[in-house]
Amino acid sequence: MKRRAFYLGVLMLVVSIALSSSARAAVSKEPEEVWQELLKLPNDERQKRLVTGARAEGKAILYGNVSADHQERLRVDFEKRYGVKLEGYRASGERAANRLLTEARSNKIDADVMAPSNEHIPVLIKAGVAGRYHSPERAAFPDAHKDRQGYWTAYDYNVAVIAYNTRLVPAADVPRKYEDFLAPKWKGNFALDMDPDKSIMGWFKTWGLERTKKYMQGISKNEVVVRKGHTLLAQLLCAGEFKAAIDLYAYRLADLKHTRGCPVEISYPDPTPATPSPVAIIKKTPRPYAAALLLDYILSEPAQRIFAEGGRISARRGIRPRYPDIDIEGKGIKILLLTPDDAIQYDKPYQQLREEFLLNR
């Protein structure tokens, strides 16, 4: 009996050592190596390993500017599906990016997935914070909504539009294009946000710098009203503080219209500028399995439906938005997508025009 117990103890010790060695080997691998190996597996086996590994790691952490209500819905669904805790640090895209850069410099990064603003992705890639992971879910996204190298994919995208108050603007006067606001009848009766990066960068890309500057001079002479905050601007338009506005967010307008009865309609200029909301994996994540599982989930159909049901515009094919007003695909709207590289390229002239015409008024 004692001999049997002895051999059983030895066997348990051998198994323990083997498991420990296996764990150390897995830990010694770089996360990108782990992801590359996972991608070679059949789908079912890959998913099983992801979930098992993520559960062993205990949690997944998301840094970024995903709205609080969406993040909570994602958390509940993610934890229910996989039995893995989802935590998050929610802040503006800039603050999230700065925190990631600070943690990376001190070699104490604790995030698994990040969702910064469009313009911060190139900096995070260059700094070695963003990793490359070709999630199988990326196949469901158009090429314009992801990069070729596998660093980022758009979990949704933000469309900047012209909007008008239906109680104040008759059908004959509905603004259809930006140039309409140069007409005398709009003098002092239209507004622009203090940080209209999507529209101005869209003008740079379609019109060029000189024509954009000339247009900014024109609307300034026509006494465009400048206010800080896209949500505030939309609310003021609903209240009738002015007749129309440029560079408002389509999803926000649709929500105000359908949930609060705001008398507002959207005009889509041709083309309509938009920016992707990028999501990316952390290159040096301490939890490679949880990181891959979370990124796969955010890009998956169930999670994308959560974004759509919350009023956002999903970049995934086949996911239609909650409100017909922002059904970009159904309406056949021509979108001018401003990539992270565009944001870097146009940032300096954008800041110059913004300071000259919007900040120093």
Q: What angle do CA 72, 74, 80 make, to 5 degrees?
A: 105
What is the reported pTM? 0.86
Contact between 132 and 138 under an 8 Å Cβ cutoff? The reply is no
CA distances from 329 to 306, 318, 326, 333 (A): 18, 9, 9, 7
Cα 184 to chain center, whole Å? Answer: 38
> How would you write the pLDDT of the chain (361 residues) with one tens digit per residue?
434 443 334 344 333 334 334 444 445 689 999 999 999 999 999 999 999 999 999 999 999 999 899 999 999 999 999 999 999 999 888 899 999 999 999 999 999 999 998 989 999 999 999 999 999 999 999 999 999 999 999 999 999 999 999 999 999 999 999 999 999 999 999 999 999 999 999 999 999 999 999 999 999 999 999 999 999 999 999 999 999 999 999 999 999 999 999 999 999 999 999 999 999 999 999 999 999 999 999 999 999 999 999 999 999 999 999 999 999 989 999 999 999 999 999 999 999 999 999 987 6
pLDDT in tens, 250-263: 999 999 999 999 99
d(CA 273, CA 338): 7
pLDDT in tens, 298-331: 999 999 999 999 999 999 999 999 999 999 989 9
Contact between 291 and 59 under an 8 Å Cβ cutoff? The reply is no
Residue 16, number of CB atoms within 10 A of its CB: 10
From its phi and psi, is residue 318 left (phi > 0), alpha (psi between -120 and 50) or beta? left
d(CA 81, CA 220): 53
